[in-house]
Structure 1
Amino acid sequence: MADTHRIRFEPVDIEMDVTEDDKILDAAFRQGIHLMHGCREGQCSACKSYVLEGDLQMERYSTFACNDAEVAEGYVLLCRAHAFSDCTIELLNFDEEELLGGVPIQTLSARVEAIEPVTRDIVSLRLKAERAFEFKPGQYVDITIPGTDDHRSFSMATTQSTPDELEFLIKKYPGGRFSALLDGELAVGDELSLTGPYGSSTLKDGHVLPVVCVAGGAGMAPILSILRHLRETGSTRPVRFYYGARTAADLFYLDAIQELGAELAGFEFVACLSESAAGSDGLVVEEGNVTDIVERREAELHRSEVYLCGPPPMVDAALALLEATNVPKDQVFYDKFTSPATTDGV
């Protein structure tokens, strides 16, 4: 049996036990401690922390997320780290509301109810869960690839108004291990295993700042969940939604967005098309990259809460813009997913 050690987190004064076999982030989730996280695969730096005391060792990780100099100095990725002694760890990023108030991690099965293409490379996957599944708008789950121990992460597009009916928007990649199943291998009635919810890019109830949403590709899903929750709770916060795509043919759920917007305060949807605006009649469209258009149109981003979801290059560009325009970090929410370029597929 693996030895157990005591972990103390500063400056939040929280302690927990962890075995040497456990990754610290996973152990924290099981004990109801919701640390900041992103990809959970050592590819981003959302869970980067600093070791004040103790012996930690990491599994394989990307040096883009934590370089050799940082590791030598004492920085660590909690999603890859194992403790081999009692440790004191300084959390560099944390959300006090989420730390001990997050939704417990659950594992449950769900039945496929529908698989429908919504664009040439994005598919809607609708599932019926075996029981009500609790999550917050903007969060995601791990779906196990049938017949394997591997999983892929997808955000919910739905809300707690239908707690056992879940929708995911999934981008298909050539050779993608899960997305390939959507071309006929996965069928209505099949069962899938879900674990979650994960993610810290959640809508914060009680906040009053205007909301700016920036998404691309399948990043539409968590933004839809956020917009639906704002409508269902009667929010009066102004909302602007910028969606990046290549052409008008890559846009989808426009009617649903229009219906949501009709019941939201000061709502505006801007389709940002990087290649061509042909065929976009009747829409508010701007040509160019989504982050360039946000920069042009949003003179006071620092007075907003910004929610991001999309391909890693889009998220990186958006984060650079937000830093350059002095948006406080506690007003920026995102979960940075890895892409097929950094993993073996999605």
Structure 2
Amino acid sequence: MAGTPNPMQAFGGRGPRGPRPAPPAAGKPGPRPGGGGSGRGGKRPQGAGGSGARGTAYPANGPLGRVLRVEHKISETKTTTLLKHQIGEEWQDVSAQANALIVLRRLSFEPVDGGTNPWKNHVPLHEWATRTGLGQDDGDGLLRRTLERRRSFLRRWTKTGAERRHVRRLRLTVEWRMVSGHGLQFGVLDNGLALNGTYGWPTLPGSTLKGLAAAGARSAGAETAQVVRALGGPRPRFGKDPRPTQEEHRSGSVRFLDALPDVDTVKVHSDVITPHQHPYYTGTDPQGPDAARSDTNAPFPGEHHNPVPLPFLSISGDLRVDLLGDDKGDLDLVATWLGEASEELGAGGRTTAGYGYFEHTDVDEEDL
């Protein structure tokens, strides 16, 4: 399995961690980062100025630089960053209809000021994400139609089969903000956020919901037999109950569908965490990230170390969760466990900082 991409080697040395050119003067084209020419994006487009502001345009790193670029319009008061894509001879804004899976995981750009702060490579991508809601505000009602298709599927599912099938619909309302998928690493830049595999919208995967329900069951002191029946086994021992045996390997009676954003509610936020004493925690020994704790030559913690901003995306608003099963009692149990976890444990990362807590409410089955 391939490891995490090395930004210093990505795109033939033209990745976001490579050497930075000096910012071009207003209205003048600058060289292509890492060497100009027509390859992989060609020459830097002409800068744009006017009204006391100066502008620069940077192609995307790699082959996408031929059709995608970022434009910075810098004035005395603020900097405006826009993603542009080429249609014919014109450059137009990348709209909310673009799939966030491509925008966040396949693109990287030079920093807004041409400097050496690698975290600024996230600026154009995160500004696009917060402005468009990661593709939810597409203007053509795709999210509404997707939610209706989900309801149509649930209607048909409950009416098929020899036995009665049940659906439990929940609405998860984030109390403040939530970040799910913080440990995911895709592409050159780490934009860890769980996204729907088809549409690129923010989501909570079904596997995350199932793990959250299991954590809530443990917190609520549920019986092992109940957990195995509803979530499958074997499961870790709950309380003083005996460990499940090999014969108890089974699928759970409850099925978890990936959460979908509710219409016009989920907002995307650009957050940042700034750890101090970064060299102490990461170490400088190439043998591994734990070198700072094992190597006597590793740097000691000190306030003279520069803080390192680490940007990430978070969400707020409502998510729609659908649970399917043949046993209504098991569905009620799982919904209770999700409620326990949402109030006491939280979901996703940075729960100690207040992220990931939410309220859950039932959605009437007649809403199907």
TM-score (norm 1): 0.22
- Larger-gyration structure (1/2): 2
User: Larger strand proportion, structure 1 or 2?
Assistant: 1
TM-score (norm 2): 0.21
